[in-house]
Amino acid sequence: MRFLRTLVAALAALLAFASPVSAEEARTILFVGNSFTQGATSAVMHYRPESVNDLNGEGVGGIPALFERFVEQAGQAWKVSHELRGGSTLGFHLTERRDKIDAPWDVVVMQQYSVLDPERPGDSGRTMADAPALAQMFTRANPAVDVYLMATWSRADQVYREDGHWHGRPVAAMALDLRRAMDVADAASPEIDGVIPVGEAWNRAIQRGVADPNPYDGRTFGQIDLWSHDQYHASIEGSYLEALVVFGYVTGIDPRTLGPDEQAARDLGMSARITQALQQVAAAQLGMV
């Protein structure tokens, strides 16, 4: 299976770089989520907002803008849109933003609230109801749409602070719990087509020594901090890894083909060493290594 995925990814990358797609053939992708997809609290939030269609008109670039930058460099044409609101659940987008998002998209990436349920952290009940309902809506508009759920990362504040829901457990545990919840929603809904393993890529970066596991006790020399200053949202590097995983998962292109001099990383002030390391982590998480 890993060999087949690697072969498919290599062929996709070859075709992408060899034969740029015309604007008329561009695929459409919609991102639905909250601050974790906005890239909030880092420079990613306002990165190239003009390159994407912000359905809320708030000037947000975020993960969608990084995705757009990646596919542009890969020679693919995508029309990238997003409908994002900080602190929101998927239920909010379903009930309050339906008029903006109920349209025939080719791909939809949905991101749930960081602890699943704001009132009951770790409870997947609302996800089990709202994610399938959104997927059904998108499928009615376009039966061929690919709908993906994003499984996000462990929040350091939820792990290391005494009032955190995951306090006392390993830092990787929260991301794995979130992944399991998304898998259950995916299995229960024929309209959901897969789960994007962003949180597990963060775990992998920590396991490999690329990223520091605990921002509360200082940062180990040579390692990056995937969290922003609030130990909750993603840093520039954390958002970059998030976008790489989404890019690779959606397009089938190995993130390593973007190279250590990738343009968005340079724009955001990342070193070639870290850029390459994060691309390698993303590729490994996606089974492309």
- Rounded to two decimals, the pTM is 0.92
Tell me the residue length of the chain. 289
Q: What is the pLDDT of residue 24?
A: 55
What is the CA 82 to chain-centroid distance, rounded? 13
Please choose, from the candidates 288, 280, 199, the residue with its C-alpha nearest in 3D space to the C-alpha of residue 252: 288
Nearest 5°: the CA angle 230, 69, 20 is 160
Q: What is the pLDDT of residue 25?
A: 84
Q: What is the pLDDT along the chain (289 residues), one digit of tens a residue?
A: 334 444 444 444 444 444 444 555 899 999 999 999 999 999 999 999 999 999 999 999 999 999 999 999 999 999 999 999 999 999 999 999 999 999 999 999 999 999 999 999 999 999 999 999 999 999 999 999 999 999 999 999 999 999 999 999 999 999 999 999 999 999 999 999 999 999 999 999 999 999 999 999 999 999 999 999 999 999 999 999 999 999 999 999 999 999 999 999 999 999 999 999 999 999 999 999 8
- The neighbour count for residue 147, using CB atoms within 10 Å, is 26
- Return d(Cα 282, Cα 289) in angstroms, integer: 10
- Return d(Cα 184, Cα 156) in angstroms, integer: 24
Q: What is the pLDDT of residue 96?
A: 98
- Return d(Cα 196, Cα 153) in angstroms, integer: 11
Q: What is the pLDDT of residue 20?
A: 46
Q: Are strands 194-197 and 146-151 parallel, antiparallel or unpaired?
A: parallel
What is the CA 237 to chain-centroid distance, rounded? 13
* Dihedral sign for Cα atoms in the order 8, 10, 11, 16: positive
CB distance 169 to 154 below 8 Å? no
Structural domains of the chain sorted by starting position, each given as residue range(s) with its CATH number in brackets = 2-285 (3.40.50.1110)
